Amino acid sequence: MTKAAGKTGAGPTVTVAIEQHFPPGQRVLDDDLASGMLPGSMRAIVRMTKPASIRDWFVRSLEKPAPGIWGGIMVRKRYIDEKLAEAIGQVDAIVNLGAGLDTRLYRLPELADTPAWEVDQPENIEAKRRALSRLFPAAPANPTLVAIDFDREELGSSLVAAGYSADARTFFILEAVTQYLTAEGIEATFGFLSRAVPGSRLAFTYGLQSFLDGSDTFGQDELRRKYVDKEKLWLWGLDPDEVAAFLGRYGWHVLEHPTYEELALRYVEPTGRDLASTPIERMVYAGKL
């Protein structure tokens, strides 16, 4: 059974596809595959937002309850793309956990020769398979798609059954995924990551615990009510001061821990766009000891 979080798999890719309507110099992220990766109904939404007035209205309406969400998606993708490109030659494999309809493993030419796996719930893996057969009539042999639920199934054995070697220095990605996992799912996922070989890398995002528990909503009460209280979609968060100790328990150490505001200085400011930065999510880049 697909969990409700499965419905979020396409969302970031819809925003990235709409971002492509901005002129090249104003785009935070270039992605010529995003639109094609989406199912037909969502491609229609992307087409409808082509006129600048509708595109800008769409961005504003998404930002209203969640200021910084648009820029947050763009900068986290840019950051992970960059870290991946830098790590090529130093890792033997890439595993994108909760990959949704993200395109980077098909989009970045530097990654083409590194064996890769994309893991998500069955519904999203099937959607991706359909999109890939539309985009690339000769199906790409790499990455391999793996359908599992991290909260209920064993990640390590599922990946090994799909051809992954546990001895490979691996670049793991957990982008906009941890907030959807149960405490047991987090323990199982990071328990799996604790067995990664030294030299492996991990880029992951997390939601702030203070937002989850309501002690600091950063003025985004409506958003919290919807995703935390009502839909119970966002389940897990971390306190930034506890990230190093949390990772240390699983044998990882923090290499970088930027705020989205810092990432926006790097990726948004050069575009001249005026985009808010989300205070409720953070990015971590870590190395395996």
Ligand X SMILES: C[S@@+](CC[C@H](N)C(=O)[O-])C[C@H]1O[C@@H](n2cnc3c(N)ncnc32)[C@H](O)[C@@H]1O
Q: Report the interface residues with ligand X, using CB under 6 A.
A: 3, 5-6, 8-9, 11-13, 98-100, 102, 120-121, 124, 149-151, 175-177, 180-181, 185
Residue 279: CB minimum distance to ligand X, A: 18
Q: Which amino acid is at 16?
A: V
Residue 134: CB minimum distance to ligand X, A: 18
Q: Which is nearer to ligand X, 182 or 210 (CB)?
A: 182
Residue 77: CB minimum distance to ligand X, A: 7
Q: Which is nearer to ligand X, 21 or 77 (CB)?
A: 77
Q: Which is nearer to ligand X, 180 or 267 (CB)?
A: 180
Q: What is the DSSP letter of 2?
A: -
Q: What does each C-alpha distance from 233 to 5, 52, 125, 188 come to in angstroms? A: 6, 32, 20, 18
Q: Which is nearer to ligand X, 120 or 279 (CB)?
A: 120
Residue 58: CB minimum distance to ligand X, A: 18
Q: Which helix (H) or strand (E) holds 188?
A: helix 183-194
Q: Which amino acid is at 103?
A: T
Q: Which is nearer to ligand X, 107 or 199 (CB)?
A: 107
- The answer to whether 143 and 66 have CB atoms below 8 angstroms apart is no
Sign of CA dihedral 23, 39, 233, 252: negative
Cis peptide before 143 (omega within 30 of 0): yes
Pairing of strands 252-256, 281-288: antiparallel
Residue 23: CB minimum distance to ligand X, A: 23
Which region, left, alpha or beta, applies to residue 118 given φ > 0 means left and ψ of -120 to 50 means alpha? beta
Nearest position to ligand X, beta carbon: 100
